[in-house]
Amino acid sequence: MPPKTAVTRIPKAKKEIVAISVKLEVITPDKLRKIIFGLTKGTDDNGVTTWTINFELHDRAKPADPFSEVIKLDVMVKVKNHALAEETAAKGMNEPQVEHVITRAAPAAAKAKAVGVTPATERAVEGTLTARKA
């Protein structure tokens, strides 16, 4: 039998989420559009937390048809909205966010397909986060 030794106190582990990626999917009631609202948390080269929205819009002519990609875009989340991004990633979208992504963000993204991504497009997509407070 090995000799008894003093009990060693095991330290608690420190938890720090450095990166996370969540994909939230919304299909419109008519089943003709699919919106993927991805959230990615990371850190920049200086160790500062960043959040990015990875937005995708897909559509189809009939509910039985396969979806085809309309547009994909990444939007950097403003620091003031980081807490909303964190909450949305943890809890999913609430009803005002789903309504916003269908009625504001998706149409703005569809328009961007034709005219290009503008600051207004990015505001509409990021507005999905601030709709959480509604």
pLDDT tens-place string over residues 63-107: 999 999 999 999 999 999 999 999 999 999 999 999 999 999 999
Confidence tier at 133 by pLDDT (50, 70, 90) = confident
93: Cα within 13 Å, side-chain hemisphere: 25
Task: Work out the mean pLDDT of the chain and round it to a whole number.
Answer: 93
Closest listed residue to residue 83, CA positions, set 37, 56, 49? 49
pTM higher than 0.75, yes or no? Answer: yes
Is the pLDDT at 4 greater than 90, yes or no? no
* Alpha carbons 96 and 105: distance in angstroms, whole number: 12
Average pLDDT over residues 22-42: 97
Residues 61-88 as b or e (16 or more Cβ within 10 Å = b) = eeeeeeeeebbebebebeeebeebbbeb
Region 27-31 average pLDDT: 97
Q: What is the mean pLDDT of residues 26-43?
A: 97
Sign of CA dihedral 56, 131, 24, 14: positive
Beta strands in the chain (DSSP E): 20-27, 33-43, 49-59, 68-76
